[in-house]
Every structure is written in structure tokens, then in C-alpha cells.
Amino acid sequence: MKAMVVPELGEPEVMQMRDWPTPEPGEHDLLVEVHATSVNPKDCHMRRHGLGKRLTLPFVLGYDVSGVVKAVGPKVEQFRVGDEVYASPSLVRPGANAELVLVDERTAALKPTNLDHVHAAAMPLVTITAWESLHHRAHLHSGETVLIHAGAGGVGHIAIQLAKLHECQVITTASRDESIEQCTQLGADAVINYANENVVDRVTELTGGRGCPVVLDAVGGEVFNESMRCLAPHGRLVTLLPPPADAPIHKLFSRGATLALEFMSAATLHKTRLSAQGEVLRTVTELVEAERLKVHVSHVFPLEALAEAHRQQETRHTVGKIAVTVK
């Protein structure tokens, strides 16, 4: 089969379309014909830095897929050939930037019938991340106020909607007009323009001096430190990136706070709680089919132009998601 391969670490243009061995399904695997995939920050990070000893060059990126089941492993129970499914493939196997990809059936679900493959492929990684962050990690309660950084981004724009579905107040951050507009349309109660407002001061003001019970940080670095200062007593801070090595995390102690390091790929990497991902996606399918949750795709590229898709991702200015068509 054809795949867009990373033969060496580097800039987007290192990637090349090559022949790649057709994968063989393991016991619980679905062999999925890839109709579409999407680009996530993880792709660009791995293209530049790899994944240490866990992944050797050359490798194939692509951690979202929507497509059709072509074959199943001997222990597969929930799906059959011909099913239209979506999932987020493992980081340590060849990804979905290819004609075919393997996904563990426990991590997959039938794609929403009212979404095409392009939109369905834009959902798994960011939606599982947002869901796990708010529900499995922060244990978000209805009525709580949640601060969602980068509300117009991939995870952010889904997290705003999930928090509103859970009857929470949403404060979010954005800077460009288009991003602010997007956040407002998705239901954010307050949008802080971080380019000309002090986020900590505004959050303090908006929460009557208490801070937010839940903060979701999809940005990291200085925003992580800022997030700590936005946290209410007993608050839960969920970060999608490793905290800075010098972050003064001990300062969270007097507030009795919790710090959750949300890395959705930990499930496939360590083969733990795989079925939680399939469960989230089944719920997402229901929400999308009921038109209660939507994904925003702002750019679509063919697989041949994946380098361009990566460049767009690396602007860090994309509203919503970048999808990639394969078939």
C-alpha cells in the first residue's frame, strides 16, 4: 500500500509518499481502509522529535482515522467487514497517513451517520482528549466554572461544547477575531483576549476572587504557570502537555489542588483501559447524531499535500481542525 512516510526527523518536507507493507491485524485489530485522517500537534512534534526508543525510523504518522473495516482479527467481536468506523490509532504503530491502518477494536466506534469521513476523522483524538480531561480526570460537576485555554483550537472547541452540555460555565481564551467569534458561537460564557488582557486578573474578576474549579490547559509553558494561578481551592488542573520542569507545583498544596497530566495515547501506549476510548466515541456518535456536538474543520488537504497540512498546524492559528483526505 501507499503511505506518507517520515524517513528522517525534520521539517514537513521530509515526508515522502512510499510503498509500505500492508498491516496484518492482531487479535483485537480492525484493518481500516483510511478515507480520512487529521493533523494534530502530536504529528508535528513526532515528525521533529520522534518518540524516543518507542518508535524507530522510518515511521508513519496520523492519529485519527475515519474509514471502512476491510478485515478483522480473530478475537474481534464488535465490528464486521464493511462497518464505517472512527478511532485514534496507537502512537507506536504505523498511523493513518496511509491507505490502510490498524486500530484496536476496543478504541473504535461506528462513525456518526450524519458526518462524512472528513469530519469524522477530525474528531477522535481531540474529542477523546477533551472528554477524558473534563470527565475522567477533572470529574467536572454540573454548574462548575471551567477555564478552557485556546478555546478555538482542536481540543478547545470540543471542550467548550462538552462543558456546556454538562451545564457548566465556560471561560475561554483566544486572541484573533475569528477565534473569539468561534468561541462565542460554541457557547463560551466569557472569552478572554489574552493578547490584551491579563488572563489571571480577568479569571479572578469573573470568578469573584475564587478562581476556577477546573482549568484545561492545551498550551503549556507559561500558560501552565498562569493556569496554576487561575485555580480555585480544591481545583483540578488538567494539562495536555508535560508541565515545565521548573513549574512551582508545590505551591498548589495549600489549595489542595489536583494536577492531571492528560495524554490520551497512554491507553494504547501502555495497553490500559482501551475500551474507555471506544465508550467515549460511542457517546460522541450519539451526541453528533443528535446534533448536540459538532466539529469544525477549517482546512482539508489531500494526503499528497500533508507537508502543507503540517505547516498550517504549525502556525498554531488554526481554528478547529485540519483534515486530510486519503481515499
Count CB neighbours of 256 within 10 A: 9
Q: Which of 67, 151, 243, 278 binds a second copy (CB under 8 A)?
A: 243
Count CB neighbours of 269 within 10 A: 14
Span from 41-49, 173-181, 226-234, 303-311 in contact with a second copy (CB under 8 A) = 226-234
Burial grade of 263 (CB within 10 A; 0-12, 13-18, 19 or more): middle
Are 126 and 158 within 8 A, CB to CB? yes
Evaluate the CA torsion angle 122, 127, 130, 133 in order and state its sign.
negative
Q: Does 55 bind a second copy (CB under 8 A)?
A: no
Query: CA-CA distance, 232 to 147, in Å (whole number)?
Result: 11
Q: Does 292 bind a second copy (CB under 8 A)?
A: no
Q: Does 143 bind a second copy (CB under 8 A)?
A: no
- Determine the angle formed by the axes of helices 199-206 and 222-229, rounding to 10 degrees: 20
Closer residue to a second copy, CB minimum distance, 71 or 269: 269
Span from 152-160, 186-194, 242-250, 280-288 in contact with a second copy (CB under 8 A) = 242-250
Q: Which of 56, 250, 291, 315 binds a second copy (CB under 8 A)?
A: 250
Q: Which of 50, 110, 175, 263 binds a second copy (CB under 8 A)?
A: 263
Span from 2-10, 172-180, 230-238, 295-303 in contact with a second copy (CB under 8 A) = 230-238
Q: Which of 19, 77, 253, 291 binds a second copy (CB under 8 A)?
A: 253
Closer residue to a second copy, CB minimum distance, 142 or 196: 142
Map residue 80 onto helix, strand or coil: coil
Q: Does 245 bind a second copy (CB under 8 A)?
A: yes
Buried-state track 181-198, b at ≥16 Cβ within 10 A, e below 16:
ebbbebebbbbbebeeee
Structural element, H or E, at residue 120: helix 117-121
Span from 4-12, 18-26, 104-112, 236-244 in contact with a second copy (CB under 8 A) = 236-244
Q: Which of 249, 287, 305, 307 binds a second copy (CB under 8 A)?
A: 249
**Which among 155, 161, 188 has a CA at the least distance from the CA of 319?**
155
Closer residue to a second copy, CB minimum distance, 143 or 187: 143
Q: Does 264 bind a second copy (CB under 8 A)?
A: yes
Burial grade of 82 (CB within 10 A; 0-12, 13-18, 19 or more): exposed
CB of 55 to a second copy, least distance (A): 13
Per the DSSP assignment, residues forming a β-bridge with 2 are: 19
Q: Does 221 bind a second copy (CB under 8 A)?
A: no
Q: Which residues bind a second copy (CB under 8 A)?
A: 137, 139, 232-234, 241-245, 247-264, 266-267, 269-270, 272-273
